[in-house]
Amino acid sequence: MAKSFLLFFLFIAASHAQQKITLEDIYINNTFATEDLPSFHFMYNSDSIISMHTDQYGAALQKYSFENPDIIETILDSRNLGEINSFDSYQFSSDESKIIVGTNSQKIFRRSSRADFYVYDRLTKRLSRIAAYKIQEPLFSPDGLKVAYAFENNLYVKDLISGKTTQITSD
């Protein structure tokens, strides 16, 4: 068995040895690029996961069971949001009753970006923008009633009930 595997491996290696690798294959054609792992979220106290799917019509968060590959429920669909056409990121509150969705992302540096962020309330089906400008790194408070974020190198907190935003730092 080991000999046949080794012969098979050598045959494959020899057949590809004549193929030349070019810089265009590496940097332009992305011939050797890896595929992204779809983003997903494990639901708390449940046997299901949420996965984000995007296509030319928008984005959707879909719920799947561990036991069945079929979609159980569409949690959020950008086609039903009105105010935004799609989203490219999401984050649940700790009780999963609210979702922060980001759209129109702009890269700043290698691993940082700013975007338009909204909070979607799953109970009321309401979408509200966190700030009138592009912000960075929004996070829910542990109770899900506030959102902290960065804007122009300062930290802010928005109270989701009153709508009031408080600037925490100014340096």
Give the pLDDT of the chain (171 residues) as one tens digit per residue. Answer: 555 555 555 555 555 556 677 888 777 777 767 665 556 778 877 788 888 888 888 899 999 888 877 888 899 999 888 888 889 889 999 999 999 999 988 888 777 889 999 999 999 999 999 999 999 999 999 999 999 999 999 999 999 999 999 999 998
- Could you give the count of Cα atoms lying within 13 Å of 86 in the half-sphere of its Cβ? 11
| pTM given for the model | 0.74
Give per-residue burial for 143-161: e unless 16+ CB within 10 Å, then b.
ebebbebbbeeeebebebe
Backbone angles phi, psi at 104, to 5 degrees: 55, 45
Burial of 59 by CB count in 10 Å (0-12 exposed, 13-18 middle, 19+ buried)? buried
